[in-house]
Every structure is written in C-alpha cells, then in structure tokens.
Structure 1
Amino acid sequence: METSTASPPANGRVHHPGLRTLVQTTRFHAEHRPDTAAVICEGRTLTYDALHRGSNRVAHALRAAGLGEGDRVAYLGKESEHYYEILFGCAKSGTVLVPVNWRLTAPEVSHILQDSGTRLLFLEDEFTQVVEGMPTAPPETVVRLSAFGTWRAEHADSEAEFEATSDTPVAQLYTSGTTGLPKGVVLAHRSFFAIRDALASEGLDWIDWRAGDIALIGIPGFHVGGLWWATQNFNAGTTVVAMRAFAARRAVDLIRDLGITTACVVPAMLRMMLTEPGVSAEDFTTLRKTVYGGSPIAEALLEESLAVLECEFAQIYGLTETGNTAVCLPPAAHVPGGPLMQAAGHPYPGVRSKVIDEQGRELPPGAVGEVCLHTPARMVEYWGLPDKTAETLVDGWIHTGDAGYVDEDGYVFIRDRIKDAVLVAGENVYPAEIENVLEAHPGVAEAVVVGAPDERWGEYVHAFVVPVSGHEPSPRDLHTFLVPRLAAFKLPARYEFIDRVPRNPSGKILRRELRDRFWNDSARKVN
C-alpha cells in the first residue's frame, strides 16, 4: 500500500510523497477518496473509484489484445473521461500512450502512427475520415470510442499485475513540428512527479494543490502542458474539469458555475476569455490560482488578467523535452511594472539553468545565448532518433533552442527562439521584445515580428499586426509609439495588417508560416 503525508491543515496544501508512478495514483485515491470526483466532462462525472476500476479494465483489455510493455497505444479524439481511463490503463499495462493532435491532417496523423509503431488506436468517430484518408494503413487494432464501454466491460476490474518504476516510459508526445517532421518525445513516470516533489521539498507554493480544488484544463491532452496539469491534480486527489476543446465562453461558464479554483491555460486563452462579451471579474471569484505558459505573454495582457481575474498567477516555462515546466515565475513576482514581469521565472529546487554561446561555453549573467535546463523530469529520448536525442540532451542538459539570459538572481529571461532572431546590420534583434512593446499600443490586439531579406542591412524587421476592431492604427502611429521605447535598429521597417495570427493547437505562433514567404526564393533562410 502507498503511504501519504499531507501538508499541515494550516495551508491546506496536499502532497502524497508515497506516490511515485501513475500506476499507484488511482489505486491510492480509490482507497482513500473513492467517491471524490476525479473527472468532470460535459456534465459527466467519474469518481476516483470508477477511474481506478475502469483503467484496470483497460489494462487487462490491452494485455488481452496482445500488447505488452513498451508497445505504443494511440488516442485520436477530443478530451473526455475515457482519455484518462486510457492514460492510466496504459500505465498499468506497461504500454505507452501516444496522444494524437486531432487537428492534424491525414498525412500528419499517418506519420505519428507510423513513426511510433502504434499497434492499437483509440479513435473518436468524428475523425474516421482522417484515418481513412491516411496514405498508410491504420494500426492492426482500432477501437472506436463509441464502443469503448463495451470493449473494456468484457474484462475484470481487478488490479493489473504490471508495476512500473519511475523510469518506465508512459507517454510519447509529438512536438508541434513547425519545421520538419514532428519528433516523438518519450516521457517516463518521473516527468509527472519530479516538480511536485521539488516544490514540496522546499515548502514552496509557487504552484500548489489543495484539498477540495477543482481544476480546469484549458490545454489539450495531446500537449505536455495539458497532460502534466491533469496528472498533477490526479496525483493530489483533486477534481479535473476537462473540456472537449477549449471555447472561451464555455470556459468562463465552467469557472463560474462549477466553482473552479485553479486553471492552466496559454496566454491566447486568457485573451479570448477576457474579450468575451459580458465577461467581468464576478465570473472568476472562485479562482485562487491561474497557471499559464506555452508561449510568451504580453505585459499588457498579463496586467489586464491580473486586474480582472484577481487571483494568484504563476507562469511556467519548459518544453515537452523537459517534461513540461522547469522554470516558474511565482505569484509574488507578478507585480505590475515590476522588474520580473518579463522573466520566464526561476528554476525549481533541483533544476539548474545555464546559458551557452555557439561554442558551448557558459556565459555570465546578463549575456544572451542558448538556454539549457537540467531537470529530473527531462525526457528519456526522441523516439527512434538517437542522433537528434544526442543533439538536444547533452550530459543531462536539455538544449532548448531558446535565446535568453539568466540574471544575477537566477531568473531566466527568454528573448526568442534562436532560429527566429533577426540579424540587422550585425545586431541580433529578438522578435518577442518588439512584439511585447507593440502589443502595449491601444490599437494593437496582437503582433508577430519576423526577419525579411534586405540587400542593404541583411535583414529588416517586418511586423504583422492584428488591429483592435474599429481602432486600426496607421504605420506612422505605430512608429511614433515605438521610437521612444526601442533602439532604432529594432524598429520595424514595414507593417502589415492581418485578421489573425496563425497558431498551432497549443497556442504557439506559427512564425515560420509568416516568415517563409519572404525567403521562398532564397537558397538560404538567413541573409
């Protein structure tokens, strides 16, 4: 039996250190809080006892289908309580869950299923045509989610025999693949426990879980942020509210009507909720903490969110390769106008950061280079790509590909993706800095900056701007606004107004989609 020691009642925080794998999680909570709601989705509720027994059945069914330790099981469907039964069922059978982005096209889905070697696919009926349109054959076994209940009901709800270790692979998530083919990031059970333990070891409440919490998952489960946030709440024994797909109005209604206390979102979701007609601070009165990450946030949006939601905010930074968050900007640092509002955050206890130059030499505080992170939650590997793994995971350090610096106090500041830096007359210009200032203009809803070829300067700064409806500023207005706020070499040479910013399903800007049109006729993508 797993043992647990909860935090003192004075602060209400809970931590169950005896839980080390997802195999143990539902077993423990089914014994100690069987009737507590584990998942609420579309009005349906699954208790911890039901989640435990249902996932036991899934584990037995997978084994009966001939799948064993290390075999890949894919899920192509929107969020549901079944997704979490399958997650824990995979953990209990030793198989590895491969969540598939349901917004992908047939060739993209085909790549993931082929690359992972998926043997069994759970398929929502809505995406049947996607699978039928793949250029390759589907996996040997396809279980439709419409028949999921019948499929698992044929098997016992007794404990499965497999017992994982912290290093046993449990999930394989595919990177968004804005360039090249997506890579499968293999994560072990430890990726979903290490940060929880790090926070508890120092008594930190940067991100915390309390008895009675009801947590909203705004980020989809095929994204590491959504999967990580769900598992953290399951490990704590709280209630997860899952949306089939994020919709701003629905999210606001759920927060208000279900008394949601914590939420995990990307900045774009905050923006959408705040711009919903009729939304006010009264809709968020039960929220005590909002965790956000996945992409940079404009200071103007963050300050508005702090003012309207009136709860604690914690920013998380990391990659799928780091097992999600490795750095956190704690609530105490969220002071409007404060010096840390542009920081990604500080590494958790037991997590280290460094910044290196192109030769791999560590740089001093304040110098911009590639950010590297050393975390116990890091990935096992890129599936089937040992060379790529060796490039990214070096002596335990994840090379993020992000440009940034570390200050004297250890706070990490991200300036951009290294490959997205614009080189203007020999000066590195980081788009995120310009975008942050542009979005402070009252007439700018969103902005994306890219580098375009320039015969004289090498590259020039091109700004794509989504104007606030009915308040479209002119290029001259924007230039006048930026002049006192940015060095001359950082100022956009051209502005282009667009209706929306292209993003992937995780909310990340598809910068390459905007940039590539300037470089399509160039042999090299730099100038």
Structure 2
Amino acid sequence: MIHHPQLSTMTDTITFHSTRIPDRPAVLTSTGQRSTYRELAQASEALAAGLVTLGVGAGDRVAYLGREAPAYWELLFAAARIGAVLVPVNWRLTAVEVEHILVDSDTVVVFLDGDHPLRGTTGRHEVITDTGYPAWRDTLRPPAPPYDATPSTPLAQLYTSGTTGLPKGVLLPHRSFFAIRDSLADAGLDWIDWIDGDIALIGIPGFHIGGLWFATQAFHAGAAVYSMPVFDPATVRRAVRDDGVTTAIFVPAMMRSIVSDGQGADDFTGLRKIIYGGAPISEALLEESVRVFDCDFAQIYGLTETGNTAICLPPDQHVPGSPRLRAAGRPYPGVEVRIVTDGLEVPQGSVGEVHLRTPAAMLGYWNLPDATAATLVDGWVRTGDAGYLDSEGYLYIQDRVKDMILVAGENVFPAEIENALAAHPKVADAAVVGVPDEHTGEAVLAHVVFRPGEQASTRELMLFLRSRLADFKLPNRYEVIDAVPRNPSGKILRRELREPYWQGHERRVN
C-alpha cells in the first residue's frame, strides 16, 4: 500500500512526484489527453505565474466552470502554489446560480470552457476560455514565488445548498485532503488503498467533494487520474478495458447505469476496487454490482463539511446477503461519531442526529459565522442525517433531520425550489419533498397551491423553473393541494407530505 507521510499540502504532492516519477502519467482523459507528472508540474507553475499577473494572491478565489480537463487539475496545483483558493463550480447550474457563487466568493479569475459562457457577471472576473488557455498559460513570465502553505491553509471552497435556498461556500484546508489518508496508513488499513500503476477513474465530477477528494488521493500516491468530461457507461467500459483503469469512484446511479446497459462483465477484469458514495444504495443494486464488476468495494459516507468521507463500509463487509450491506459503515481511525437527540447523546441502537468529529472537517462556511456556529458545535459536525449505531460501531442512516433530497448523488434542497416556484405569478405557496425513485434514488415532488382563480400546467411550471434552476433540481412530479401543512411556527410539515410515498420502505432515504 503506497503512502508518503512527508506530504501534507498539495504543493508538496506535485513537487515530490514531479521529481520522483517525472515521466509517469498524472492525468489521462477519455478524450485522449495525457500529462506526465513533470508536465503537470510545469503547466501548474506556468499557470501560477499567469495568475499572479492577473493580480491573484494568497487568499484570493479562482473559479473553474467547465467539465473535467487537464486545465482543472493544473489550476488546483497552481492555486495551491500561490496560496489562492480554488472554487469549483457545478457546470450544470444556471447562469443565475453561477452568478451567486462567483459574487459570494468574490472570485478574481474564472476559467471556463467554451460551452459555458457567463452572462451578466459582476465583480472582478477575468475570463479565460479553453481555446486561448494553453498559449496564455505558457507565456514566459517570472516564476511565482511559492506560498508557504500549512495543513490548515485554505485550499478549496465548494458550494453546497442550504435550507435558506442559497448555496453556502464550504471552506476546506489542505488537511481535509490528507487526514483520512494518514489515519488509514497509521492504522495499517487498506479500505481505500493505492498500489503501483493504479489509474483512478473520477466518475463523480470534480466540482463535487467526492470527485475532488478521490483525485487528490490518487495524486498523493503518484497514481494517474482519469477524467471524463461527461459520464457515460460505454466510456467507463472502454476506460477499464483499453486504458488500464484499476480503481474508480461512482455514485450509485452511475453504477446502476453501467450494470443495466446489457453488456457483459468481461470488460471489468482489470478493475480491482470501486469506491462509491454520495447517495444511499439499495441492497439489490449493490449485489448486482458485486456480480458484474467482481472487484472490491468500499462505501464512503460524509459531507462536504467533513472534507468528504468520515465513515466507510470496508471491502470485507461487502458480503452478498449480509445485513451489514444496509450500513453506511464505521468511522475511520481518528474519526468519532455520536448520535444526539435534544442535545444529549443517545444509547446504542437509538435513532438521532448523526454528529461527526474528524480531522478533515471544514474551516467553516465562507462569510457565514452563524451558519458555521450552527453546524460546527464543540468540534463536532452536525450532519442533519438521522441514524443509529449498532453494537460494533457501524452507522445506519435512517432518515434526514435536514430536508435535503439526493437525486443521483446531487444535493437538492427544497427551499431553493420553493423560492423559485413562489416567484411564479400563479403560485401562492409550495412545498417540495423527496420521494422514492427506482433510477435516481430519490425524485423531486412539488406540492403547489395556486392563487385563487389561477391554474398552471405542469409544462408551464417546468418551463418557468428551467431558467432558474439546474435540470437535476427540477421537480419530476407536481401535485396541486389546497394548503401546505405547517406547524404553529410556520414550518412546513414535510414528514406529513413525504410519509405516503415512503410507506413500506425500511429507510426514509432511497
């Protein structure tokens, strides 16, 4: 198992490997691009110099809006080199949603590919398109003086939606991308491991903490990162069969699309391990995946706020038919979990809110001290998920304290959709919940109350929302109701709305 304990920042990682294994592949793409560690280091150093000429310094934000490409990983290391903070932006968001992130983060420079023009942006934004990027990056400039980062230096700011409907910037330091790696190595555990020659397919997009975290783990080990601009089951098969991919990270919806494509299992003989997470997985899908992929599996559970994974269901627990397959897993060494109700820790087996204490936790929410204080409590991260611990310390997720809906691994928050629906001139009130869906885990259901004398078709509402919300946030179904059920303080009684759809389900997540 490969582990380099001397590495503690991303600058350490690229400097170390560009000297140790300069000609080894560092970045591969499904479109045929390839960079060695020497080339990745040189490109990121040139990019760092270019950022300095644009006025970027320590603590400034640089954003990336586009599909995964070598430029994204170059920007990760370039930002680290000068102490800037990378802001990955979900390319599926609408222009309005992107605008909020860029303005809220006070982004200085945004990199985007040609498919994602910005409209009406404000603030200090220098825009560099993919067509002119290589020539601009490689313009001869004085080298940027390296920034003396520490494990606590901010590295990335990822945006996650909140119950207010506005995305919050989760500020993660370098240690968020090293702590779990170090704890596993110190304990001699190979739950998530690396061997010489590994090529890691990043199925989860790099703007998600899961994709970014897994890619950094590959870089720390000197493995190659295999990026896909767009997820496609046939491309995954070719990547394993023809390009030598040995390990991968997916959300369950991706696994479902691969095992359901009607092709055989022969393409996956070179695959040794799959990491999956981002959404709950059914036992049926997991057992089918074990049969088709015929490799080791590790499930990870965590939040952006915990620096990605804090809980893992190890490979040796993936036994078909075992009740342990319903567990999220157990904490890594150095990570603690407790179950809390009304501020008090509850006994083993009792359901309550899951709290996690991890050395990889966020520094806080950007410019939101009250929200930070509500989530980070005495060193514990309040997850908003409800679950329980069994007698061996395995965590089982049962429901959500928060209102988040998971659609194929994407976090969707009802308040954001409700706010958008409320802007429709015919809508008086709305309540959004998640309901079971065979393909995406959960689907978005909108309960709508129309103004007196008004009606609107499903198509009209969909077209109205499409310009305001990303496609994965759009409701799949609409139901017209007379009034939204609320408690005396005015809060929506979502459990009352959700309950009919979850009857017969052991867990209130899918």
Question: Among residues 100, 103, 120, which one is paired with 1:111 in the alignment?
Answer: 100
The aligned counterpart of 1:318 is 302
How far did 1:464 drift?
A: 5.1
How far did 1:139 drift?
A: 3.5
In the alignment, structure 1 segments of 5+ residues that lack a partner are 1-12, 422-430, 436-449, 451-460, 469-506
The aligned counterpart of 1:127 is 116
Range moving further from structure 2, 511-520 or 260-269:
511-520
The aligned counterpart of 1:31 is 19
**Partner deviation per Cα, 1:45-76 (whole Å, 9 max, x = no partner):** 10000001111111111112111111000111
Question: SS of the counterpart of 1:68?
Answer: coil
2:70 aligned partner, one-letter code: E
CA distance in 1, matches of 2:482, 2:154: 40
Distance 1:366-1:55 versus aligned 2 partners, 3 A rule:
same
The answer to whether residue 217 in structure 2 is matched with residue 232 in structure 1 is yes
Question: Among residues 268, 282, 285, which one is paired with 2:266 in the alignment?
Answer: 282
Question: Among residues 184, 202, 207, which one is paired with 1:199 in the alignment?
Answer: 184
2:99 aligned partner, one-letter code: S
The aligned counterpart of 1:98 is 87
The answer to whether residue 291 in structure 2 is matched with residue 298 in structure 1 is no
How far did 1:308 drift?
A: 0.9
Range moving further from structure 2, 404-413 or 344-353:
404-413
**Partner deviation per Cα, 1:254-279 (whole Å, 9 max, x = no partner):** 111112110000000000011113x2
Which runs of at least 4 in structure 1 moved beyond 2 Å after TM superposition? 136-140, 155-161, 176-179, 461-468, 507-524
Question: Among residues 387, 390, 393, which one is paired with 1:404 in the alignment?
Answer: 387
Distance 1:34-1:156 versus aligned 2 partners, 3 A rule:
farther
Range moving further from structure 2, 514-523 or 378-387:
514-523
CA distance in 2, matches of 1:420, 1:362: 22
Distance 1:163-1:508 versus aligned 2 partners, 3 A rule:
farther
CA distance in 2, matches of 1:508, 1:104: 8
How far did 1:142 drift?
A: 1.3
The answer to whether residue 357 in structure 2 is matched with residue 374 in structure 1 is yes
CA distance in 2, matches of 1:317, 1:206: 13
Question: SS of the counterpart of 2:344?
Answer: coil
CA distance in 2, matches of 1:383, 1:173: 10
CA distance in 2, matches of 1:467, 1:385: 35
The aligned counterpart of 2:131 is 146
5 Å-filtered alignment, 1:92-491, equals 92-128=81-117, 131-132=118-119, 134=120, 136-137=121-122, 139-156=124-141, 160-177=145-162, 180-277=165-262, 279-357=263-341, 359-420=342-403, 466=438
The aligned counterpart of 1:439 is none
What is the number of residues matched between the two proteins? 439
2:88 aligned partner, one-letter code: P
CA RMSD of aligned residues (A): 2.8
Q: Contact 2:199–2:245 at 8 Å: present in 1 too? A: yes
Distance 1:400-1:50 versus aligned 2 partners, 3 A rule:
same
Distance 1:56-1:28 versus aligned 2 partners, 3 A rule:
same
TM-score (structure 1 length as normaliser): 0.79
CA distance in 2, matches of 1:515, 1:351: 41
Percent sequence identity over aligned pairs: 52
Distance 1:508-1:164 versus aligned 2 partners, 3 A rule:
farther
Q: Contact 2:264–2:292 at 8 Å: present in 1 too? A: yes
Question: SS of the counterpart of 2:325?
Answer: coil
The aligned counterpart of 2:456 is none
Question: SS of the counterpart of 2:7?
Answer: coil
How far did 1:417 drift?
A: 1.4
CA distance in 2, matches of 1:395, 1:515: 41
**Partner deviation per Cα, 1:417-436 (whole Å, 9 max, x = no partner):** 12459xxxxxxxxx99xx9x
How far did 1:146 drift?
A: 1.6
Q: Contact 1:346–1:410 at 8 Å: present in 2 too? A: yes
Q: Contact 2:326–2:396 at 8 Å: present in 1 too? A: yes
CA distance in 2, matches of 1:157, 1:64: 9
Distance 1:392-1:464 versus aligned 2 partners, 3 A rule:
closer
Q: Contact 1:112–1:174 at 8 Å: present in 2 too? A: yes
Range moving further from structure 2, 408-417 or 84-93:
408-417
CA distance in 2, matches of 1:516, 1:83: 41
Question: SS of the counterpart of 2:388?
Answer: strand
Distance 1:91-1:35 versus aligned 2 partners, 3 A rule:
same
Q: Contact 1:74–1:100 at 8 Å: present in 2 too? A: yes
Question: SS of the counterpart of 1:210?
Answer: coil
1:525 aligned partner, one-letter code: I
2:395 aligned partner, one-letter code: V
Question: SS of the counterpart of 1:127?
Answer: coil
CA distance in 2, matches of 1:386, 1:467: 38
Distance 1:137-1:402 versus aligned 2 partners, 3 A rule:
same
Q: Which has the higher contact order (CA 8 A, sep 6+)?
A: 2
CA distance in 2, matches of 1:171, 1:181: 19
2:221 aligned partner, one-letter code: A
How far did 1:161 drift?
A: 2.2
2:292 aligned partner, one-letter code: V
1:56 aligned partner, one-letter code: E
The aligned counterpart of 1:44 is 33
The aligned counterpart of 1:471 is none
2:17 aligned partner, one-letter code: H
**Partner deviation per Cα, 1:92-122 (whole Å, 9 max, x = no partner):** 0111000110010011000000110101111
Q: Contact 1:54–1:157 at 8 Å: present in 2 too? A: no
Question: SS of the counterpart of 1:341?
Answer: helix
The answer to whether residue 89 in structure 2 is matched with residue 89 in structure 1 is no
Range moving further from structure 2, 220-229 or 58-67:
58-67
**Partner deviation per Cα, 1:466-504 (whole Å, 9 max, x = no partner):** 599xxxxxxxxxxxxxxxxxxxxxxxxxxxxxxxxxxxx
1:19 aligned partner, one-letter code: L
Q: Contact 1:121–1:139 at 8 Å: present in 2 too? A: no
In the alignment, structure 2 segments of 5+ residues that lack a partner are 408-413, 415-432, 441-469, 497-510
CA distance in 2, matches of 1:207, 1:186: 24
1:49 aligned partner, one-letter code: R
1:126 aligned partner, one-letter code: D
Distance 1:140-1:514 versus aligned 2 partners, 3 A rule:
same
Q: Contact 1:352–1:373 at 8 Å: present in 2 too? A: yes
How far did 1:331 drift?
A: 0.3
